[in-house]
Amino acid sequence: MENKIKDLMQRIEAMKASNEQEIEELRVRLLGKKGEVTALFEEFRTVPPEMKKLFGQKLNGLKTAAQAKIEELKNSVGKQVSSSSKTDLTMPGVPYLTGSRHPISITRNEIISIFSKSGYSVVEGPEIEDDWHVFGALNFPPEHPARDMQDTFFVTSGDNPVLLRTHTSSVQVRAMEKLPLPIRIICPGRVFRNEAISARAHCIFHQVEGLYIDEGVSFADMKQAILLFAQEMFGKDAKIRMRPSYFPFTEPSAEVDVSCNICKGKGCNICKGTGWLEIMGCGMVDPNVLEASGIDSRKYSGFAFGMGVERIAMLKWQVKDLREYFENDLRFLSEFETAI
């Protein structure tokens, strides 16, 4: 028996296996019901009592060695599998999706950054406003059609009803009421109009309002400020033109066109063959508006302008349907990933 134990011990030490199946076969061969180690334990019963202690110890040592060998083989085979066949280090990595800014935010941020370079600071005002700040203080006569239920979402009725602002010009009024002069601000924000949703109109959209009030501000200053903006936004070669217009809060008023950046002024279907695209309204702040907010119109003058952010973004990226901005379709939004 002593020789059998010695012989088996040597064979166990030399055992090798290259996969899990072979290890399992070894385990059965040694420790299974009919295994060699198990068989020696059977034989142990016939050992004379005085030898039992010695052989018992040797047999237990053999069993422990067999178990340890099986574990050792399992570990080394497991390592080979994980480092060789399962991982292909030459595979391309899995790209992970990053978010991107919404085109309206990108455009609004760009407008803000252009004007902040000229010293304009950002002022925001409430979206739920009263009639005075949206219309009254801006020289809208009481019967003006813009106050009509068809355009404005009213929250309450009465003499000075609460409503959703229809333009960011209301923030001008709040600024003139509380800021020290001179004032040089831009006011980005959401506005609301009671309109049917279509490719060209939405009931919620975004505007940026600009206001500059100081002593001796002239129409020429306004023209220069807007030209600088157009060139930063649409490219160094951009030109602007002003067409006479009317707004209750400015006198004189104008509408500003920028030369079409797609056909470079030659005429295409984006500019409808004119070579020009309308980008904003502007004008010299009406003295009535200055006085309504307590500013001396004999001492101070100023200009104001207002533009639609969706419109600027549409012109910049040739977006044809305004509804795309609100549908959150990732195929549309991901086109702006590289824009900023």
Which parts of this chain interact with ligand DAH (CB under 6 A)? 167, 169, 209, 247, 250, 281-283, 304-306
Which CB sits closer to ligand DAH, 41 or 219? 219
Cβ density class 143-163: b for 16+ within 10 Å, e for less: eeeebeeeebeeeeeeeebeb
CB-nearest residue to ligand DAH: 306
| Beta carbon of residue 213, minimum distance to ligand DAH (angstroms, whole number) | 12
| Beta carbon of residue 251, minimum distance to ligand DAH (angstroms, whole number) | 10
Which CB sits closer to ligand DAH, 93 or 244? 244
Which CB sits closer to ligand DAH, 100 or 245? 245
Which CB sits closer to ligand DAH, 152 or 169? 169
Which CB sits closer to ligand DAH, 253 or 261? 253
Tokens representing 190 are 């959401």
| Beta carbon of residue 209, minimum distance to ligand DAH (angstroms, whole number) | 5
**How far is residue 156's CA from residue 162's CA, in Å, rounded to a whole number?**
5
| Beta carbon of residue 153, minimum distance to ligand DAH (angstroms, whole number) | 15
Which CB sits closer to ligand DAH, 247 or 336? 247
**How far is residue 11's CA from residue 104's CA, in Å, rounded to a whole number?**
77
**How far is residue 234's CA from residue 120's CA, in Å, rounded to a whole number?**
20
Residue whose tokens read 């930063």: 232
Angle, vertex CA 166, rays to CA 161 and CA 169, nearest 5: 100
Cβ density class 227-254: b for 16+ within 10 Å, e for less: eebbbbbbeeebebebeeeebbbbeebb
| Beta carbon of residue 284, minimum distance to ligand DAH (angstroms, whole number) | 8
Angle, vertex CA 200, rays to CA 153 and CA 143, nearest 5: 40
Q: Decide: residue 26, CB within 10 A, 0-12 exposed, 13-18 middle, 19+ buried.
A: buried
**How far is residue 3's CA from residue 184's CA, in Å, rounded to a whole number?**
103
| Beta carbon of residue 282, minimum distance to ligand DAH (angstroms, whole number) | 5
Angle, vertex CA 115, rays to CA 110 and CA 119, nearest 5: 140
What does 74-133 look like in DSSP terms, one character per residue?
A: HHHHHHHHHHTTS--TTSPPPP-------HHHHHHHHHHHHHHHTT-EE----SEEEHHH
Tokens representing 49 are 């009592």
Which CB sits closer to ligand DAH, 249 or 336? 249
| Beta carbon of residue 290, minimum distance to ligand DAH (angstroms, whole number) | 13
Which CB sits closer to ligand DAH, 275 or 281? 281
| Beta carbon of residue 266, minimum distance to ligand DAH (angstroms, whole number) | 29
